[in-house]
Structure 1
Amino acid sequence: MDHKIGVYIDTGYGIGEALDIEALMAVANDEFNVAVCKADSYWSEPDKLDVIKKDASEHGLTAVVIAGPSPRLFQQEFTFQGLITERVNLREHVVWCQPPNAEDTQMLAEDYLRMGITKASKYEDRAPFIEPVEKAILVIGGGMTGLTAALEAAKAGYQVYLVEKEPHLGGWANRFHKVFTGKPPYDELSDPPIQDKIKAVQAHDKIKVFTGHRVYKISGAPGMFDVMIRPDGPWIERLVQKQNEWLAAKKAKEAQDKGEPEPAKSSQEEVAVVVEEEPEPTEFPFEQVRVGAVVLAAGWRPQDASVFENLGYGKYPDVITNVQMEELAAKGKIRRPSDGKEVSSVAFIECLDEKTEHPWLFSSAVGCLVALKQAQYLRKSNPDGRAYLFYDNMRAPGQYEKFYQTMQDDPGVFLSKGTPESVSNGGAGLDLIVKDTLLGERVRLNVDLVVLSTGMVPMTQDSAIVNLQYRQGPFLPVNPYGFNDSHFICFPYETQRTGIYTAGCVRQPMDFASCEMDATGAALKAIQCVELVSQGKAVHPRAGDESFPDIFITRCTQCKRCTEECPFGAYDEKPDGTPMPNPTRCRRCAICMGSCPERIISFRDHSVDMIGSMVKAINVPDEYSEKPRVVVFICENDALPAVDMAGINRLQYSPFVRFIPLRCLGNINMVWIADALSKGIDGIMLIGCKYGDDYQCHFVKGSELAAYRMGKISETLQRLALESERIRVHQLAIDEYMTIPKLVDDFMETLAQFDPNPYKGF
Structure 2
Amino acid sequence: MADEKKIGVYLCSDCGIGEALDIEELEKVASSEFRVPVCKTHPFLCSRDGVQVIKDDINNGDVNKIVIAACSPRVNSDVFDFDPLKNVVERVNLREQVVWTQPSDEASRESTQMMAADYLRMGITRAEKAELPDPKIADVNRTVLVVGGGVTGLTAALEASQAGYKTVLVEKAEELGGWAKKMYRVFPTKPPFAELEQPTVSSKIDAAQNDKNITIHTRATISSIEGGPGEYKVTIDRSGTAEAFDAGSIVLATGWKPYDAGKLGHLGYGKHKNVVTNLEMEELVKNGNGKVLRPSDGKPVKNVVFMQCAGQRDEDHVPYCSTVCCNVSLKQAKYVRESDPDAGAFIIYKDMRTMGLYENFYKSAQDDEGVFLAKGEILDIEEAPDGSLYVEVDNLLLGRKMNIQADMVVLATGMVSSMVPDEKGVNNLTSEYIGNIVKKETEDGEIEALEPESLILNLKYRQGPEMPHLKWGFPDSHFICFPYETRRTGIYSAGAVRHPMDAVQSTADATGAALKAIQCLELTAEGRAVHPRTWDRTYPEIRFESCTQCRRCTVECPFGAYNEKADGTPLEFPSRCRRCGVCMGACPQRVISFKDYSVDMISSVLKSIEVPDEGTFILGFVCENDAYPAFDMMGLNRMNLNPNIRLIPLRCLGGLNLVWIADALSKGIDGILLLGCKYGDDYQCHYIKGSQMANERLEKVQETLDRLMLEAERVEQVQIAINEWEKLPGIIEEFTKKIDDIGENPYKGF
TM-score by length of 2: 0.92
Match for residue 580 of structure 1? 571
**Which range moved further: 584-593 or 647-656?**
647-656
Whether 2:501 is the aligned partner of 1:510: answer: yes
Partner residue of 1:98? 102
Residue 544 of structure 1 and its aligned partner are, at CA, apart by 2.7
Partner of 1:734: 722
Q: Give the Cα–Cα distance (whole angstroms) in 2 for the partners of residues 30 and 286 of structure 1.
A: 69
2:123 to 106, 111, 116: 116
Match in the other structure for 2:322: 364
* Partner of residue 189, structure 2: 182
Whether the aligned pair in 2 keeps the contact of 1:632 and 1:686 (CA below 8 Å) is yes
2-side partners of 1:289 and 1:41: how far apart? 58
**Secondary structure of the equivalent of 2:705?**
helix
Corresponding residue for residue 678 of structure 2: 690
Aligned with residue 556 of structure 2, among 556, 565, 568: 565
- 1:501 maps to which residue? 492
In 1, the alpha carbon distance for the partners of 2:397 and 2:543 equals 67
Q: Which residue of 1 is the match for residue 249 of structure 2?
A: 293
Q: What SS does the corresponding residue of 2:600 show, helix, strand or coil?
A: helix
Matches within 5 A, 1:156-171: 156-171=163-178
Contact 1:361 1:455 survives alignment (8 Å)? no
| Counterpart Cα distance in 2 of 1:107 and 1:366 | 59
**Structure 2 residue identity aligned to 1:295:** V
Partner residue, 1:27: 29
1:72-91 matches, cutoff 5 A? 72-81=74-83, 82-91=86-95
The Cα of 1:426 is off from its aligned counterpart by: 4.8
**Is the 1:688–1:731 Cα contact (8 Å) retained in structure 2?**
yes
Q: 2:643 aligns with which of 655, 665, 674?
A: 655
8 Å Cα contact 1:364/1:395 also seen in 2: no
Residue 40 of structure 2 corresponds to: 38
| 2-structure distance, mates of 1:443, 1:737 | 54
The one-letter code sitting in structure 1 at the alignment partner of 2:66 is: V
SS in 2 for 1:612: helix
Q: CA deviation at 1:341?
A: 1.5
Question: How far apart are the structure 2 equivalents of 1:691 and 1:53?
Answer: 43
Rate the CA distance shift 1:408–1:41 in 2: closer, same or farther, 3 A.
Answer: farther
**1:159 & 1:375 partners in 2: Cα distance?**
42
In structure 1, distance between residues paired with 2:345 and 2:733? 61
Equivalent residue for 2:404, pick from 441, 445, 454: 445
Label 1:661 to 1:339 Cα distance change in 2 as closer, same or farther (>3 A): same
Q: Distance in 2 between matches of 1:601 and 1:391?
A: 56
Give the SS at the match of 2:528: coil
- Residues of 2 paired with 1:499 and 1:291: CA distance? 10
Confirm whether residue 314 of structure 1 aligns to residue 270 of structure 2: yes
Q: What is the DSSP-based 3-state SS (H/G/I as helix, E as strand, rest coil) of the residue aligned with 1:525? A: helix
When residues 359 and 653 of structure 1 are mapped into structure 2, their CA distance, relative to the original with a 3 A threshold, is farther
The letter for the 2-side match of 1:442 is K
Deviates more, 1:731-740 or 1:12-21: 12-21
Runs (5+) with no aligned partner, structure 1: 234-284
Which residue type is aligned with residue 84 of structure 1?
A: V
Asked if the contact 2:87/2:132 (under 8 Å) is kept, the reply is no
CA contact (8 A) 1:683 1:751 kept: yes
Give the aligned residue type for 1:337: P
What pairs with 1:255-294 in structure 2 (closer than 5 Å)? 285-294=241-250
Moved more, 300-309 or 51-60: 51-60
In structure 2, the partner of 1:434 is 393
* CA offset digits 1:633-682 (Å, max 9, x no partner): 11111111211112212222311111111110000001110110111111
Distance 1:655 1:441 in 2: 66
Are the counterparts in 1 of residues 311 and 413 from structure 2 also a CA contact under 8 Å? no
How big is each residue's C-alpha offset from its partner over 1:534-592, in whole Å with a ceiling of 9 and x where there is no partner? Answer: 11111111113111110011100000000000010000001111001110000111100
Which amino acid is the alignment partner of residue 57 of structure 1?
N
1:85-484 alignment to 2 at 5 Å?
85-100=89-104, 101=106, 102=108, 103-232=110-239, 285-331=241-287, 332=289, 333-352=291-310, 356-426=314-384, 429-462=388-421, 464-484=455-475
Conserved? CA contact 1:361–1:454, under 8 Å:
no
After superposition, what is the alpha-carbon deviation per residue over 1:714-746, rounded to whole angstroms, capped at 9, x for unaligned? 111011011110000111122111111111000
Distance 2:159 2:252 in 1: 14
C-alpha displacement of 1:21: 1.6
Equivalent residues, number: 708
Q: Which amino acid aligns with 1:198?
A: I
2:312/2:318 contact within 8 Å kept: no
- Could you say which residue in structure 1 is the equivalent of 2:56? 54
Secondary structure at the counterpart of residue 736 of structure 1? helix
Distance in 2 between residues matched to 1:350 and 1:141, nearest whole Å: 28
What code does the residue aligned with 2:179 have? Answer: W
Structure 2 counterpart of 1:14, which letter? Answer: G
Aligned to 2:596: 605
SS of the residue aligned with 1:519?
Answer: helix
TM superposition shift of 1:177: 0.6
- Partners of 2:188 and 2:43 lie apart in 1 by 55
Q: Which residue in 2 is equivalent to 1:756?
A: 744
2: CA distance, partners of 1:88 / 1:642: 16
CA gap of 1:150–1:52, structure 2 versus 1, over 3 A, is: same
- Give, in whole Å, the separation in 1 of the partners of 2:517 and 2:312: 37
Q: Does 2:706 correspond to 1:718?
A: yes
1:487 to 443, 455, 478: 478
How far apart in 1 are the matches of 2:302 and 2:38? 86
After superposition, the CA RMSD in angstroms is 1.5
Identity of aligned residues (%): 53
Q: Alpha-carbon deviation of 1:232?
A: 4.2
Distance 1:154 1:299 in 2: 21
Q: Deviations over 1:461-515 (max 9, x none)?
A: 1253111000001010111111111111211111110011111111111111111
Structure 1 residue 339, shift from structure 2 partner: 2.0
The one-letter code sitting in structure 2 at the alignment partner of 1:545 is D
The alignment partner of 2:338 has SS state of helix
- In 2, the alpha carbon distance for the partners of 1:358 and 1:487 equals 27
What secondary structure sits across from 2:102 in the alignment? coil
Deviations 1:370-394 (A, max 9, x none): 1111111111111122112222221
Shift of 1:321: 0.8
SS of alignment partner, residue 758 of structure 1:
coil
Alpha-carbon offset, residue 601 of structure 1: 0.4
Against the structure 1 CA distance between its residues 720 and 296, is the aligned structure 2 distance closer, same or farther, given a 3 Å change threshold?
A: same
Q: Which runs of 5+ in 2 are unaligned?
A: 422-453
CA 1:6–1:438: 2 relative to 1, 3 Å: farther
Q: 2:486, 2:317 → 1: CA distance? A: 22
Residue identity matched to 1:604 = K
**Which 4+ residue blocks in structure 1 deviate beyond 6 angstroms?**
none
User: Hey, what does 2:516 align to over in structure 1?
Assistant: 525
In 1: Cα distance, 2:498 partner to 2:69 partner: 43
The CA deviation at 1:56 is 2.0
Q: Secondary structure at the match of 1:286?
A: strand
CA gap of 1:682–1:572, structure 2 versus 1, over 3 A, is: same
- Partner letter of residue 602 of structure 2? I
Q: Supply the distance in 1 between the matched residues of 2:410 and 2:137 (Cα, whole angstroms).
A: 56
Partner SS for 1:92: coil
Secondary structure of 2:156's partner?
helix
Mapped pair 1:680 → 2:638? no
